[in-house]
């Protein structure tokens, strides 16, 4: 009889070990790493990133550990954005969402079918911590557009940076509706925080990112949102019974362009794009810069514009911020755009706005909007190189 | 005593159940789905894809189930490529790789630290089947460049399509070395299979995709490979002790552009790009088309060129292949490029090749190479809009 008990207890011990292994394998795949190393060994998860220094792309990659980024919206774009930043070894991620994972989200990257029913922030936090335990993940499971939650959001992005009491280094908007974008805009104007807006179209074949530096570039309230020129109205996105199309490609590319530009800004390499569109149907990538509206409805935007104008405008790139002969960084630590001084092409717009080819405003602009084409916005004319400005204007009026 | 045994057996039963649940949750998250449905419910993993039909982007999305795609190389680009196609519900994926997952790969999307040590194809197959059990996954764990394996590769892509004995519908090259690309090129020329080449630079800040249609566009042996103009030499990539830099952004974007163009080709929407580059430093996306070299060293390439010239060239887009007013598909079922007839800008190139701005050949071209700029390649001049052709030529000679 005692042999039987021994045998049963042995079976229990074995099952417990197996269960523990099963659980461990899906929880802690690697130990935390104290410092990033450039050592070229298969077991080093940072070797390919630290190699950016040897390649003369980034001067000090490990600075990424001192950066905190807030991601608002952890859906098709936001989840991939979080995944990329986590694998890059970002110091801290703060995730905001109030939605649940559904099987209907499985046509985008990141979430897996077993996570259906979990909150997006919780499911994301688990996966991200598993992928890279060195990244600090903080989650906020609420809608930032309600009055009470907006205050929590405001406090979080201004005080929960890499050090307690510091603001985050960047806010990334990956939401799918106008109200949430306006809430982020208001919070970033008030806190004087730089942020990137991002979006994909309802028909899944276009996307865009926009870098907003309060006072320096147009805020989200300065002008109607710019989108890639297609039949889109983002306000219909969440309408009852309407199901927007989406593709893992368009969302992954948009997230990639968003994080790439965030990295360029945070680690000071290359040129950060102010507005970059992506039209999947013809692989066309329009670019432009928007100046702030001096009659913007957001009073904090007006205040930031005043502060920006009062700042000394640097005339030359600071040598110590440039890495080798790579293209110079278009912004300094204050987010001041260096090309602005050389490109005085400003135009007063009417409702039939003359935005660059390939882009359009999401709805009719009020008369007071001012749009400025950036120096390198010539890129956007590439699709119709033989067309005059007058012809373009006529074409856009007929859209 | 028998109470003790009963209790132990109850514990065993409980542990077994828990273990089974633990294993199941990481294996079968959802049942297979017989037919794709457009029903707008949270539990439908295909609702957002089928919505592409309602949005007039794709005429018959479910055709994707009849497509088989071979992916060669399941690393930073190939794994994300497989992930995207799996989430899109592709009929069959055939994966080729002979490498193992390492922690050093964790700075790109897809693989997780617990998979370190597993073969890439095995780890990928498990994850992909878990994400979408409707996709048939076939794995080949060998190096396709050895004589024996090349034959296996050739047979597989020509006979293991969606139906036994049929070829695959498309081959996607996501490898990181010249030899493997040449092997894929030889196999696709011999089998007359269309394929996409893809690549990312050693410094992680550029990438490209290239669509190769045997006989119609330049094959990989027709001319030295085109890459985004930076200090790259892909032949050093695998050199002892040298560690290439990589970023999840650049690899994710390259995979996204690759799969997006593969989807446009397979599902017949939008315009498929022949060559699309991505320079992350300035968000520049050069495009061009390369004509085949009439003195190519690959005899099957010469044979395909002869066949291509003998084919009737369609003069007009077939109405039933066009969906609504979206940009027309630049290729028909035979992969014949419709814009070719209208753009007779051909130039005989020397070693100081005049490829479009933003691109360069990976090494010196032999004298016989012919390169043709596509109609919409004007896009590539966007970065230097004021520069004359002569100045550009001079600049490129000095590179």
Nearest CA to CA, how far is B151 from chain A (Å)?
31
Given this model, what pLDDT does residue B327 score? 34
Our CA-based measurement puts residue A300 at a distance from the nearest CA of chain B, in whole angstroms, of 31
Residue A385 has what pLDDT? 34
Instruction: Decide: helix, strand or coil at residue B156.
Output: helix
Name chain B contacts of A33, Cβ cutoff 8 Å.
Answer: none
Contact status, residue B108 vs residue A79, Cβ threshold 8 Å? no
Contact B280 A260 (CB under 8 A): yes
Give me the residue from A23, A109, A270 closest to B83, CB to CB: A109
Query: CA-CA distance, A25 to A130, in Å (whole number)?
Result: 10
pTM for this model (two decimals): 0.80
Q: Is the pLDDT of residue A319 over 60?
A: no
Higher pLDDT, A11 or B347: A11
pLDDT value at residue A399 = 31
- Write down the pLDDT at residue B241: 57
* Residue A111: C-alpha distances to residues A123, A180, B43 (Å): 8, 22, 14
Q: What's the whole-number mean pLDDT along residues B281-298?
A: 95
pLDDT category of residue A354 using cuts at 50, 70 and 90: low
CB contact under 8 A, B131 and A112: yes
Beta carbons of B113 and A255 less than 8 Å apart = no
Percentage of chain A surpassing pLDDT 70?
A: 76
Question: What is the pLDDT at residue A203?
Answer: 94
Facing residue for A107 by CB, picked from B48, B261, B276: B48
Q: Which residue has the tokens 């104008």?
A: A309
A248 chain-B contacts, CB cut-off 8 A: 83-84, 87-88, 256, 259
B54 burial type by CB count under 10 A (0-12 exposed, 13-18 middle, 19+ buried): middle
Indicate the helix (H) or strand (E) that contains B72: strand B68-72
A189 neighbors A325 (Cβ within 8 angstroms): no
- Between CA A191 and CA A198, with CA A194 as vertex, the angle to 5 degrees is 120
The pLDDT of residue A2 is 75
For residue A228, what pLDDT is reported? 86
Closest chain A CA to residue B330: A282
The distance from CA A306 to its chain's CA centroid, rounded to whole angstroms, is 26
Distance from CA of B285 to the nearest CA of A (A): 7
3-state secondary structure (DSSP) of residue A321: helix
Q: What is the pLDDT of residue A30?
A: 86
Nearest beta carbon to residue A5 from set B4, B47, B379: B4
Q: Domains along chain A?
A: 58-310 (3.40.50.720)
pLDDT reported for residue B26:
58
Q: Tell me chain A's radius of gyration from C-alpha atoms.
A: 23
B222 in catalytic set: no
For A12, A15, B11, B392, the CA distances from A8, given in Å and listed in that order, are 6, 11, 10, 81
Chain B CB contacts of A4 below 8 Å? 5
For A107, which of B23, B87, B107 is closest by C-beta distance?
B87
Interface test with A, best of B283, B330, B373 (most A CBs within 10 A): B283
| Of residues A242 and A346, more confidently modeled | A242
Percentage of the residues of chain B whose pLDDT score is greater than 70: 76
Eight-state DSSP code of residue A163 = S
Residue B20's pLDDT is: 81
- Judging contacts by C-beta atoms under 8 Å, the chain B residues touching residue A203 are 52, 55-57
Mean pLDDT throughout A68-88?
98
DSSP result, B253-301: HHHHHHHHHHHHHHHT-S---SEEEEETTTTB--EEB-PPPTT-S-HHH
pLDDT greater than 80 at residue A387 = no
Whole-number Cα distances in Å, B381 to A127, A276, A289, B285: 42, 17, 19, 10
| Range name among A186-200, B254-268, B273-287, B352-366 with the lowest pLDDT average | B352-366
Mean pLDDT of chain B: 82
For B93, phi then psi, to 5°, come to -120, 135
Kindly determine whether residue A114 and residue B25, on different chains, have CB atoms separated by under 8 Å: yes
SS3 content of chain A, % helix, strand, coil (to 5): 40, 15, 45
Among candidates A40, A259, A327 on the partner chain, residue whose Cβ is nearest the Cβ of B241: A40
pLDDT of residue A344: 31
Cα(first)–Cα(last) distance of chain A, in Å? 87
Residue B386: what are its φ and ψ, rounded to 5°?
A: -95, -5
B353 or B189: which leads in pLDDT:
B189
Cross-chain residue pair A245–B12, CB shorter than 8 Å = no
C-beta atoms of B284 and A379 within 8 A: yes
Q: Which of the pair, A319 or A15, is modelled with greater confidence?
A: A15
Report pLDDT digits (tens) over B33-56. Answer: 999 999 999 999 999 999 999 999
Please give the helix or strand (H or E) that residue A148 lies within, else none: helix A147-159
Chain A partners of B270 at a C-beta cutoff of 8 Å? 205, 280-282
Query: How close, in Å, is residue A232 to chain B by CA atoms?
Result: 10
* pLDDT (tens digit per residue) in A20-63: 877 766 556 788 999 999 999 999 999 999 999 999 999 999 99
Residues of B in contact with A51 (CB under 8 A): 204, 243-246
- How many angstroms away from the CA of B43 is the closest CA of chain A? 5
Q: Label residue B357 by pLDDT band (50, 70, 90).
A: confident
Measure the CA–CA gap between A282 and A269, rounded to whole angstroms.
29
pLDDT band at residue B216 under the 50/70/90 scheme: very high
How do residues A272-317 score in pLDDT, each as one tens digit?
999 999 999 999 999 999 899 999 999 999 999 999 999 987 765 4
pLDDT tens-place string over residues B302-312: 999 999 999 98
pLDDT of residue B314: 72
Q: What is the C-alpha separation between A142 and A132, in angstroms, rounded?
A: 25
Q: Are A223 and A371 in contact (CB under 8 A)?
A: yes
CB B370: neighbour CB atoms within 10 A? 17
- Alpha carbon of A253 to those of B171, B205, B250, B278: distances in Å? 21, 15, 9, 11
B288 closest CA partner among B230, B217, B336? B217
Alpha-carbon gap: A151 to the closest alpha carbon of chain B (Å):
31
Which residue bears the tokens 């950036």? A374
Lowest mean pLDDT among A157-171, B264-278, B344-358: B344-358
- Chain A residues touching B130 at Cβ < 8 A: 112-114
Residue A314 or residue B82, greater confidence: B82
Taking all residues of chain A, what is their mean pLDDT, rounded to a whole number?
82
Provide the pLDDT for residue A361.
75
Mutate: best of A103, A240, A271, A276, partner B, most B CBs <10 A? A103
Is there a contact between B57 and A259 if contact means CB atoms under 8 Å apart? no
Q: Residue B152 CB: number of other CB atoms within 10 A?
A: 14
B205 vs B242, residue with greater confidence: B205
Question: What would the pLDDT profile of B326-336 be if each residue is shown by its tens digit?
Answer: 333 333 333 22
Q: What is the ipTM of this complex?
A: 0.80
Cβ-contact B139, B95 below 8 angstroms:
yes
Q: Which tokens is A270 given?
A: 């290359």
- Burial of B346 (C-beta count, 10 Å sphere; 0-12/13-18/19+): exposed
Q: For residues B59 and B268, is the Cβ–Cβ distance under 8 A?
A: yes
Q: What is the pLDDT of residue A143?
A: 97
Give percent of chain A with pLDDT exceeding 90: 65
Supply B217's token pair: 């566009």
Could you say which DSSP state residue B251 is in? H
pLDDT at residue A357, as a whole number? 77
CA B48 to chain centre: 23
Check A160, A219, A243, A301 and give the catalytic one.
A243
pLDDT at A362: 72
**Which residues on chain A are in Cβ contact (under 8 Å) with B112?**
29, 130-131
Query: Which region among A12-16, A41-45, B368-372 has the lowest average model confidence (pLDDT)?
Result: B368-372
Half-sphere CA count of B199, side-chain side, radius 13 A: 24
Distance CA B185, CA B191 (A): 10
> Of residues B84 and A335, which shows the higher confidence score?
B84
Nearest CA among B345, B356, B344 for reference residue B381: B356
Q: Which residues of B touch A22 (CB under 8 A)?
A: 19, 22-23
Q: How far is A168 from A163, CA to CA, in rounded Å?
A: 9
Asked if B385's CB is within 8 angstroms of A80's CB, the reply is no
Lowest-confidence region among A92-96, A251-255, B2-6, B90-94: B2-6
> Among the options B160, B188, B243, B301, which is catalytic?
B243
Return the H-helix or E-strand segment holding A347.
strand A346-348
- How do beta strands A170-173 and A195-200 pair? parallel
B262, B80 contact by CB (below 8 A): no
Q: Return the number of CB contacts < 8 Å for A and B.
A: 306
CB contact under 8 A, B248 and A327: no
Contacts of B47 in chain A (CB under 8 A): 104, 243
CA distance B55 to chain A (A): 6
**A193-212 average pLDDT score:** 97
Nearest CA in chain B to A263: B249
Q: At residue B134, does pLDDT exceed 60?
A: yes
Work out the pLDDT band at A132, boundaries 50, 70, 90.
very high
| Least Cα separation, residue A221 to chain B (angstroms) | 26
Q: What share of chain B is helix, strand, coil (3-state, %, to 5)?
A: 40, 15, 50
Average pLDDT over residues B90-111: 97
Whether B87 and A102 lie within 8 Å, measured CB to CB: no
pLDDT at B309: 96
């Amino acid at each position: 009889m005692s042999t039987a008990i021994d045998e049963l207890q042995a079976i229990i011990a074995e099952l417990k070990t197996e269960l523990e292994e099963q659980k461990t394998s899906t929880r802690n795949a690697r130990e935390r790493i104290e410092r990033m190393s450039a050592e070229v060994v298969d077991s080093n998860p940072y070797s390919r990133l630290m190699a950016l220094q040897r390649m003369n792309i980034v001067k000090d990659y490990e600075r990424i550990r001192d950066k905190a980024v807030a991601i608002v919206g952890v859906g098709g774009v936001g989840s991939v954005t979080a995944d990329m930043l986590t694998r890059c070894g970002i110091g801290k991620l703060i995730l905001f969402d109030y939605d649940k994972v559904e099987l209907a989200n499985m046509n985008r990257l990141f979430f897996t079918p077993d996570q259906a029913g979990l909150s997006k922030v919780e499911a994301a936090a688990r996966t991200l911590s598993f992928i890279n335990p060195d990244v600090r993940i903080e989650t906020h499971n609420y809608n930032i557009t309600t009055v009470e939650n907006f205050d929590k959001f405001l406090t979080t992005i201004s005080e929960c940076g890499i050090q307690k009491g510091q603001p985050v280094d960047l806010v990334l908007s990956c939401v799918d509706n106008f109200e949430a974008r306006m809430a982020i805009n208001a919070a970033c104007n008030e806190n004087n925080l730089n942020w990137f807006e991002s979006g994909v179209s309802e028909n899944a074949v276009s996307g865009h990112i926009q870098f907003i530096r309060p006072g320096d570039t147009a805020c989200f309230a300065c002008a109607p949102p710019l989108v890639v020129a297609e039949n889109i109205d983002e306000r219909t996105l969440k309408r009852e019974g309407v199901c927007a199309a989406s593709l893992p490609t368009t969302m992954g590319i948009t997230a990639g362009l968003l994080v790439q530009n965030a990295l360029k800004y945070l680690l000071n390499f290359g040129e950060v794009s102010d507005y970059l569109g992506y039209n999947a149907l013809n692989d066309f990538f329009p670019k432009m810069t928007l100046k702030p509206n001096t009659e913007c409805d957001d009073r904090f935007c007006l205040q930031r514009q005043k502060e920006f104008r009062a700042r000394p405008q640097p005339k030359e790139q600071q040598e110590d911020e440039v890495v080798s002969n790579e293209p110079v960084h278009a912004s300094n630590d204050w987010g001041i755009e260096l090309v602005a001084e050389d490109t005085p092409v400003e135009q007063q717009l009417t409702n039939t706005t003359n935005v660059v080819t390939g882009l359009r405003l999401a709805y009719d602009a009020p008369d007071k909007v001012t749009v400025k084409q950036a120096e390198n916005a010539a890129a956007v004319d590439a699709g119709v190189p033989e067309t005059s400005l007058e012809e373009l204007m006529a074409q856009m009026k007929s859209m």
